[in-house]
Structure 1
Amino acid sequence: MSILSVTDPRLRETILPSPGRQRLSPSPVSWEDQVLYFLLPDRFSNGDEAGALDSEGIATSGSVRSFAPSDNANAIRSHKDALKWQANGNTFQGGTLRGILSKLGYLKRLGITTLWVGPIFKQVPTDEHSYHGYGVQNFLEVDPHFGTKEQLRNLVKRAHELGMYVVLDIILNHSGNVFAYKSGEQAWTGQKYPVEGFRDSLGQPSIPFRPLDLRQSTFQKVEDCAIWPWELQYPACFAREGTISNWDRDPEYIRGDFYSLKNIDLGTGNADNFVASPALRTLCEVYKYWIAYADLDGYRIDTVRHMGDGPTRHLCTILHEYASSVGKENFFLVGEVTGSRAFDTVEVTGLDAALAIGNIQEKLWKLPKGYVNPTEYFDLFRNAAYLKKGTDAWLGKKLVTMIDDHDQVWRPGDDKARFCSEGEGDRLVFAAVALNLTTLGIPCIYYGTEQRFDGRGTSDRYIREAMFGGGFGAFRSRDRHFFDESNAVFTEISKITQLRKRYKALRRGRQYLREISSDGQRFSVPHVLEGRLKSIVAWSRVFADHEIVLAINTDTRYRRDAFVAIDPEIHAEGHALQCVYQYPATGGKMTTNVLALGEKAVHISLPPCGFAMYL
């Protein structure tokens, strides 16, 4: 029988460290050295992709062929087919933990060092739309759509053998739709609403809203009923205040339900006088269990803004202390912090980092396309004076940065889009990824970006295409997979990640946006003209008197040249900087000499959408 309580002896034995027991895998020395890759298990791989390469680089057998250009839009050739493809985007497509395991070689060759896996916990069985994993019914089990607990443990074990870490997505703010209000779904008003009952295995609210007595239970498929572990079945575990309408009003965004997902009451008080609820204490035990059981290396914590600082600090304290006790001294806790409080939340709560969604993701998206001034992105990392840290290097450890993700919360309204879907993004995507991989922050690649996925539509499903094809493949296709290691974006990312591994300045160095000049005399930061920036944008990473100069060309049509200012104290006039990377590889000049002009500078020339690195 499954573990259904945090007092189950099997769970307690797993959690409690004991003499002679094998220690868990250690944490990395520094998370800023890592390159993350975020995937949703249902949308990544089912392990049946013909010709995909295994960990040894050997082509595998399977029934799903690789995507070819002629397959573009093969799922929407008729109106009926298009409707079916769209509907498939809202339901489980069949990706599994076994599929992820089969693609660790693909990720390793891409240069990924840490795998961020979307939630794998058991979902409400009757909710066919919970493919994303955020509607949990049993926090102690893996959803059968994804596989088994043993397969999760095997995935982590194999990743560790390949020198990779695994971060798992977890949820505390809410459960799935495990109960029903008496009068149907209610809008938040600050009052508690009466509950009809917990949902049974058929989804009906027929179970009394109180802990089940398993000795007398007559419900069919009891493990599919209500919520587990058992300790979460007390009514006081839920706020029961209805659905959020105003996402910025406090305490509505803290106490309200996420649509049909039911808010869990995590405790009372602010961060300094917080009292944890029984529900939060239970969930802390749950997530200790998964650390010990699967040998996980970190957690990405969902909807931190809606939890509040007190619960988040409590969780971070408990999990950091527990992880340290089992040999993980640098266990990674990264929070999804929407809104403007990312820096404050990290400081107050003890999170190791925040997802840099919002302004940073928006500017990272828009800068390579020439939609914003470079200062709008680079100045976001100059909050050091405000934070009283004294150096922008602090931010390099505290932010996980990415271009694409699974919900694009910064975009207005219901317009959801991947980078490649607009503004010549398909041509500029590598410049964008290069910017992401070589500027401050812990970089993260969202699955499919390396294959130029271009999903766009009116809901999140359109940016959650299936890498393995199925009924909701990328590029409006079906039954074709996208594990193409010859794709130019894939191959160039793999080169940059190797350089990032080689040069510490790219991971830990200070960062400077560089002024440029067309004549070598008048230097300034480039800026948008007539609605779009068409220019070289250059920056430096400096570490221990070692400078790496990097530049992209945001012009999609013409080569651009510029004199780029560099650190005057590090370089002597006449010193030659070597080009260690250029894209596209044009075979052009591979050195540039330091010139004494209006500033000490080097001359850089880049083709359209180009990127180069000099040191």
Structure 2
Amino acid sequence: MTLRRVADVDFVQLVDRDFHPSPAAWEDQVLYFLMLDRFSDGRERDYLDDDGEPVTTGTTPPLRAADHGNAITTDPDRARWEAAGADWAGGTLAGLRSKLGYLRRLGVTAIWISPVLRQVPGSDSYHGYGAQNFLDVDPHFGSADELRDLVSTAHQQGIRVILDVVVNHAGDVFGYDPDRYLTERDGVPFFDPRWDGRPYRIEGFREAGGKPLLPFGPVDGIAWPDGAVWPAELQRPGTFTGRGRIDNWDHHPEFVEGDFFGLKDIALGAGPVERYQPSPALRTLVRVYQYWIAFADLDGFRVDTVKHMDPGAARYFASAIHEFAQSIGKDNFYLIAEITGDRGFAYRTLEQVGMDAALGIADVQDRLEGLVKGVRDPAEYFGLFRNAFEIGKDSATWFRDRVVTGYDDHDQVRKGDRKARFAADGDGGRLAVAALALNAATLGIPCVYYGSEQGFDGAGGNDRYIREAMFGGDFGPFRSRGGHSFDEDHPTYRQFARFLALRRRLPALRRGRQYLREISGDGRNFGLPHVLGGRMLSVVPWSRILADDEVLAAVNTDPDQPRTAWVTVDADLHADGGTMTCRFSTDSTEEGRTVEVESRNGRSVEITVPAGGFVVYT
């Protein structure tokens, strides 16, 4: 059914069915974030289907190590490969649906999908953050029915679906009047619609060809489907702030009122948080996203750019979405807020707006990556989950379902123009399992960025280089083309899948309290592991404790050789002479080995962690 107005949605009929229930505890989940355009086009062959059976009918073969670099053998080839990364690559909803078995066998229980709504025609917004029609799926990705089929199949596979949504802005749907506010740059007339606190005059909505030739107002009869913005309710006067692009990203109210470069800021309302008056545009967007919850049976939203929304607007959105979801039986529909800034700001904002979890970017990512690579003190990462009193919480276990953790993502704001995946440097590939395991075995809801389980190593001065296409195409990983990377025999995939199977069996690894543990080389002198001389090559251990159950986990930041250390454990839970057993090791021959608890630094055990590896003892 074609929808032009939110008012046309028959919600009574839409909600007259049973919906997939929410999980009891989101910290039990393992998220996997994928950019839909870069994940799968459904044309691969020689991979395993949902039932683990070989698929031999596609056209794209698996990528071989010998294929790495095959797209950049000449300067023209390199230029073509780089240019391909800035355009649509071809991933689809149907392609993703065909790879749910691959994700399930890895241990993924929830997928976070980049935005799927219809983008401004003719743009290169393959990322999905520039919507033109909020009531339709972009045809590059497929159809609304294919979104619904994907979610249904995912639920059958035991996988929930979180959709990335944007409330703060639309795509580049209108043009400013270039005859107004003309400036000079190096003596040359230059139109630079930059935020200065005043509204700019707007020339008109863009028509299908991209020119701002349509009236800036209701244009239902002449703009459908590729012109202006949809639903039609968003064509009303006052929908957009119209104040130009953000220049200072930390200046208020500039970062709330301004445009994200060409993406046009939506006026969401006004007033203090407790008395916020939502605009008609915000009310429309709330109804839009309620529609998608019911239509596709979604399980959560990742809400983009929450920092750039009025707190009152974000709170109104969260309340309305939660209430609607609860009314159809989704009692724990999860809202994950993207909130850039320091930890204190992020968590204060999270509480203020009433969303469920903050996306752990910047500090979490940087410190996790630095710990595993031995260049940041472990206390810096583990300290992010302490001092709960400072944010008004009675226990650090608050963090277990209130922050989504990870170490790679699709834009890496923290790295500026030196973007690089974890595996891009010399040691990153050899430490990949340790990084994935640390993320999944510490507090928070772990999130894996697509391709990390295959050792993707993209790097460069633009976002495109960390957004490789899993399915190959013209912009494949490892600077390749023509080969897919759905390899379930990859060592990182296999090791991480084995560990996630153990995580499902050990509640303490998902829900327990967390303690960074002291270590000793001689069994007498103990202290926390730390960077010495610029690099820490060491065992880094921590405990997760749930009731009377202690799980001891450790990584080795030395990628070249195993490391042995005495590790402190809880003296109240272990008697002298007791034992702990290795339940997981990246050297599987160690599994089942027992170590004796001795009276050292209270109570301690001596463990060995393989080079660049990870172990778990109980």
TM-score of the aligned structures, taking structure 1 as reference length: 0.97
User: Does the aligned pair in 2 maintain the 1:304–1:335 contact within 8 Å?
Assistant: yes
Q: Specify the alignment match of 1:284 in structure 2.
A: 286
Pairing of 1:468-483 with structure 2 (within 5 A): 468-483=471-486
Distance 1:607 1:25 in 2: 42
Pairing of 1:564-575 with structure 2 (within 5 A): 564-575=567-578
Distance 1:479 1:383 in 2: 49
Distance 1:193 1:237 in 2: 14
The alpha carbon displacement at 1:11 in A equals 4.1
- Measured against aligned partners, the alpha-carbon deviations of 1:303-336 in whole angstroms (never above 9, x if no partner) come to 1111131111000000000000001000000011
Is residue 2:199 matched to residue 1:192? Answer: yes
Q: Specify the alignment match of 1:120 in structure 2.
A: 116
Is residue 2:47 matched to residue 1:52? Answer: yes
The alpha carbon displacement at 1:599 in A equals 2.5
Amino acid at match of 2:285: L
The alpha carbon displacement at 1:586 in A equals 4.6
Distance 1:379 1:11 in 2: 49
Q: Specify the alignment match of 1:27 in structure 2.
A: 22
Pairing of 1:142-221 with structure 2 (within 5 A): 142-183=137-178, 184-214=191-221, 217=222
> Which runs of 5 or more residues in structure 1 are unaligned?
none
Amino acid at match of 2:51: E
Greater alpha carbon shift after TM alignment, 330-339 vs 380-389: 380-389
Q: Specify the alignment match of 2:363 in structure 1.
A: 359
The alpha carbon displacement at 1:50 in A equals 0.8
Matching residue within 397, 401, 416 for 1:397: 401
User: Secondary structure at the residue paired with 1:99?
Assistant: helix
The alpha carbon displacement at 1:200 in A equals 0.3
Q: Specify the alignment match of 1:12 in structure 2.
A: 11
The alpha carbon displacement at 1:202 in A equals 0.8
Distance 1:107 1:465 in 2: 18
User: Does the aligned pair in 2 maintain the 1:122–1:144 contact within 8 Å?
Assistant: yes
Pairing of 1:584-595 with structure 2 (within 5 A): 584-587=587-590, 590-595=593-598
Distance 2:39 2:203 in 1: 38
Distance 1:390 1:520 in 2: 34
Matching residue within 102, 105, 125 for 2:101: 105
Matching residue within 353, 368, 375 for 2:372: 368
User: Secondary structure at the residue paired with 1:581?
Assistant: strand
Distance 1:59 1:433 in 2: 27
Distance 1:252 1:424 in 2: 41
Cα gap change, 1:292/1:199 in structure 2, threshold over 3 Å: closer, same or farther? same
> Which runs of 5 or more residues in structure 2 are unaligned?
179-190
Distance 1:584 1:196 in 2: 65
- Measured against aligned partners, the alpha-carbon deviations of 1:355-412 in whole angstroms (never above 9, x if no partner) come to 000101110111000010010000000031112212111001100001111011121x
User: Secondary structure at the residue paired with 1:603?
Assistant: strand
Cα gap change, 1:123/1:213 in structure 2, threshold over 3 Å: closer, same or farther? closer
Greater alpha carbon shift after TM alignment, 136-145 vs 385-394: 385-394
Equivalenced residue count is 603
Cα gap change, 1:94/1:418 in structure 2, threshold over 3 Å: closer, same or farther? same
- Measured against aligned partners, the alpha-carbon deviations of 1:40-92 in whole angstroms (never above 9, x if no partner) come to 11000011111111101111121001010110011111100100000000100
Q: Specify the alignment match of 1:77 in structure 2.
A: 73
Amino acid at match of 2:110: T
Distance 2:165 2:601 in 1: 53
Distance 1:292 1:432 in 2: 37
User: Does the aligned pair in 1 maintain the 2:584–2:591 contact within 8 Å?
Assistant: no
Q: Specify the alignment match of 1:350 in structure 2.
A: 354
Amino acid at match of 2:398: W
User: Does the aligned pair in 2 maintain the 1:96–1:147 contact within 8 Å?
Assistant: yes
User: Does the aligned pair in 1 maintain the 2:286–2:317 contact within 8 Å?
Assistant: yes
Distance 1:304 1:388 in 2: 21
Distance 1:29 1:611 in 2: 29
Amino acid at match of 1:165: R
- Measured against aligned partners, the alpha-carbon deviations of 1:452-498 in whole angstroms (never above 9, x if no partner) come to 00000111100000000011000000010000000011111111111
Matching residue within 242, 247, 254 for 2:256: 254
Q: Specify the alignment match of 2:3 in structure 1.
A: 3
The alpha carbon displacement at 1:354 in A equals 0.7
Greater alpha carbon shift after TM alignment, 263-272 vs 197-206: 263-272
Pairing of 1:514-593 with structure 2 (within 5 A): 514-587=517-590, 590-593=593-596
User: Does the aligned pair in 1 maintain the 2:220–2:232 contact within 8 Å?
Assistant: no
Distance 1:344 1:383 in 2: 14
User: Does the aligned pair in 1 maintain the 2:177–2:203 contact within 8 Å?
Assistant: yes
The alpha carbon displacement at 1:588 in A equals 7.7
Distance 1:22 1:239 in 2: 39
Cα gap change, 1:588/1:295 in structure 2, threshold over 3 Å: closer, same or farther? closer
Distance 1:598 1:28 in 2: 40
- Measured against aligned partners, the alpha-carbon deviations of 1:495-521 in whole angstroms (never above 9, x if no partner) come to 111111101000000000000111111
The alpha carbon displacement at 1:585 in A equals 2.8
Cα gap change, 1:14/1:416 in structure 2, threshold over 3 Å: closer, same or farther? farther
Distance 1:206 1:589 in 2: 71
User: Secondary structure at the residue paired with 1:367?
Assistant: helix
The alpha carbon displacement at 1:12 in A equals 3.4
User: Does the aligned pair in 2 maintain the 1:521–1:599 contact within 8 Å?
Assistant: no
User: Does the aligned pair in 2 maintain the 1:14–1:292 contact within 8 Å?
Assistant: no
User: Does the aligned pair in 2 maintain the 1:185–1:260 contact within 8 Å?
Assistant: no
User: Does the aligned pair in 1 maintain the 2:582–2:590 contact within 8 Å?
Assistant: no
User: Does the aligned pair in 1 maintain the 2:165–2:304 contact within 8 Å?
Assistant: yes
Distance 2:539 2:220 in 1: 68
Is residue 2:491 matched to residue 1:459? Answer: no
User: Does the aligned pair in 2 maintain the 1:173–1:263 contact within 8 Å?
Assistant: yes
User: Does the aligned pair in 2 maintain the 1:256–1:263 contact within 8 Å?
Assistant: yes
Distance 2:140 2:448 in 1: 24
User: Does the aligned pair in 2 maintain the 1:300–1:336 contact within 8 Å?
Assistant: yes
User: Does the aligned pair in 1 maintain the 2:585–2:591 contact within 8 Å?
Assistant: no
Please, what is the CA RMSD of the aligned residues?
Answer: 1.1
User: Does the aligned pair in 1 maintain the 2:583–2:616 contact within 8 Å?
Assistant: yes
User: Does the aligned pair in 2 maintain the 1:11–1:289 contact within 8 Å?
Assistant: no
Distance 1:445 1:34 in 2: 11
Matching residue within 433, 436, 441 for 2:436: 433
Amino acid at match of 2:377: N
Runs of 4+ aligned residues of structure 1 deviating over 6 Å after TM superposition are none
Q: Specify the alignment match of 2:496 in structure 1.
A: 493
User: Does the aligned pair in 2 maintain the 1:67–1:480 contact within 8 Å?
Assistant: yes
Matching residue within 579, 597, 600 for 2:600: 597
The alpha carbon displacement at 1:607 in A equals 2.3
Greater alpha carbon shift after TM alignment, 422-431 vs 462-471: 422-431
